[in-house]
Amino acid sequence: MRIKICGITQLQQSLAITQLGATALGFICVPSSPRYVSIEQINLATSHTPDHIDKIGVFANSTIFEITKVVSLSSLTGVQLHGDETPLFCEKLRQALPNTELIKAFRVRSWEQLETTPNFTGCVDTFLLDAYHPQQLGGTGKTLDWQVLQSFRPSLPWFLAGGLTPDNVLTALTQIHPDGIDLSSGVERSPGDKDLDKVALLFSRINQL
């Protein structure tokens, strides 16, 4: 299972988190976010991380030019689209970044919204389900209704996000079986400052499965 810790801002924390077992690091490329990092900060934070660790940039309603610029100037290996991007936008981004993993995030308000995910199947590689918040794009601490997701069977691999913590991750993973999990605020002291004790506890809990 893929384990992504999102909202990374610091080199030492990125190194420690990968050593604890994370398979992917997430970097927020949305300027309005309290976890925002520049291209220079991304490159510094990943300067000593192993090549096999995925480095995912999170964007929301950015232009293709903006996204491709950040990818070309950074160590990012993937792009997570966390806004209102359409399948057509994803197709155009795929043409611009043919060798970059594209993750389409859905801030889920209802089951009907999940019924739109097949529209993206041909233009992205991975889905991510996050909890909806009217003002915040992610890192809200709000959880999804995991029981509803028991019947979610997309044709692409998918991450579960939204309010996951070391205390509830086993409950979530015994109810549903995503291909990966994504945590941010659930392993933080404050936005962008990860609590390595919580990260270590997360992996000890996951290893119980």
209 residues of the chain, pLDDT tens digit each: 999 999 999 999 999 999 999 999 999 999 999 999 999 999 999 999 999 999 999 999 999 999 999 999 999 999 999 999 999 999 999 999 999 999 999 988 767 778 899 999 999 999 999 986 545 555 556 788 888 888 899 999 999 999 999 999 999 999 999 999 999 999 999 999 999 999 999 999 999 88
Whole-number pLDDT of residue 137:
55
Res 56: pLDDT: 98
Q: What residues form DSSP beta bridges with 182?
A: 4
Q: What is the DSSP letter of 151?
A: G
CATH of 2-206, one of 1.10.10.10, 3.40.50.980, 3.40.50.880, 3.20.20.70: 3.20.20.70
> Do 199 and 187 form a contact (C-beta atoms < 8 A)?
yes
Number of helices and strands (H, E) in the chain?
7, 10
Catalytic sites, residue numbers: 6, 130
Whole-structure pTM value: 0.94
Query: Per the structure block, which two tokens stand in for 23?
Result: 């398979």
Residue spans per domain, the chain: 2-206
CB 176 within 8 A of CB 150: yes
How high is the pLDDT of residue 112?
74
- Write phi, then psi, for 16 (nearest 5 degrees): -65, -40
